[in-house]
Amino acid sequence: MTLIPEKDLRTLTIPLFADMFYCEYRVSATISSVQDEIISHLDALVEGGRGDEQYRELFCKIIGERANEISHARLCQAIRNFVTMVHKLIGLLLDYRESAMLESRDCVTYCLVELLKFYNEIEKRDMYLRYLYRLYDKHMECRSYTEAGNTLHLHARLLQWAEGEIPKELSHEKHQECITERQLKEKLYKEMISLYDKGKMWELAIRLCKELQDQYETETYDYVQLVPLLRQLADFYQRIMEPGARPDPDYYRVGFYGLGFARFFQNREVVYRAAVPPPSRPRRLSDRPDQVTGA
């Protein structure tokens, strides 16, 4: 109801959240449950088209004012921290929604990375994985295989080489067949190795192969899996040594200046990596020293 675009209605209903915080704190000395519910619902509703900049400012203003009226110092500070968090979250969600409308791959990717950082900071793993796999799908759609592998690595780092059941917040619908953390981590490693192979980043694939080799040799004694893994490892070394197996990547620093770009992308600089064949490669300043020296 608070997301209905009527200022008077919002002004009347938003204070209810502060009352919810107060009630939960009286019972459990924390506001985490209400906070998590608000964040989850805000994420879904703002992405779905609800909410705007006015709601963002009004929500934070009203809840902040109610926090200042509370005499309990710990509760007051907890609500203030929540206000800061929500102000940032709604801004990121509005940016993500705008980027989806622009249909710009770079803008969408940038917004997804920023949301990943946010949910990682507040340790909300379920939402973190939700956006992680959106980023993964975006990379796969663009055939950015190395970046897709790096994205899966963020999930794998959260898992242990253990036989325990996968914690609910670390599971994902793409891997429903995995039961234990070890099964899921091993599956992710194999997918990453395949992606790094497609991206011709064999050094990264070798690093993961060696980790799996150590698991098969010293933990699970799975020599059946070890045999093809070692053959794959040898193949990666061979490909690295082959002349012309991959063009040397070029790196470009690209700036987005002016009002022609999305608001959240303006006046930012990013680094692009691209393996461009020589005939199509943009001319570098170093290729034309006369333009650098003014000769």
Q: Tens of pLDDT along 189-248?
A: 999 999 999 999 999 999 999 999 999 999 999 999 999 999 999 999 999 998 877 777
pLDDT level of residue 284 (50, 70, 90 thresholds): low
Q: What is the pLDDT of residue 272?
A: 76
* Average pLDDT estimate for 120-137: 95
pLDDT at 256: 83
Q: How confident is the model at residue 295 (pLDDT cuts 50, 70, 90)?
A: very low
Q: What angle do CA 75, 79, 81 make, to 5 degrees?
A: 115
User: 294 pLDDT exceeds 70?
Assistant: no
Burial of 211 (0-12, 13-18, 19+ CB in 10 A): middle
Which residues does residue 251 pair with via DSSP β-bridges, in sequence order?
Answer: 273
pLDDT range class, residue 185, cuts 50, 70, 90: very high
Of 44, 36, 49, 84, residue with least CA distance to 63: 84
**Structure pTM?**
0.86
In angstroms, the CA 59 to CA 54 distance is 8
Average of per-residue pLDDT values in the chain: 89
Cβ density class 97-117: b for 16+ within 10 Å, e for less: bbbeeeebebbbbbbbebbbe
User: Which of 60-87 are b and which e, b meaning 16 or more Cβ less than 10 Å from the residue's Cβ?
Assistant: bebbbebbeebeeeebeebbeebbebbb
Cα–Cα distance for residue pair 266/8, rounded to 1 Å: 33
Whole-number pLDDT of residue 280 = 53
How far apart are alpha carbons 44 and 56 in whole angstroms? 15
CB atoms within 10 A of CB 145: 19
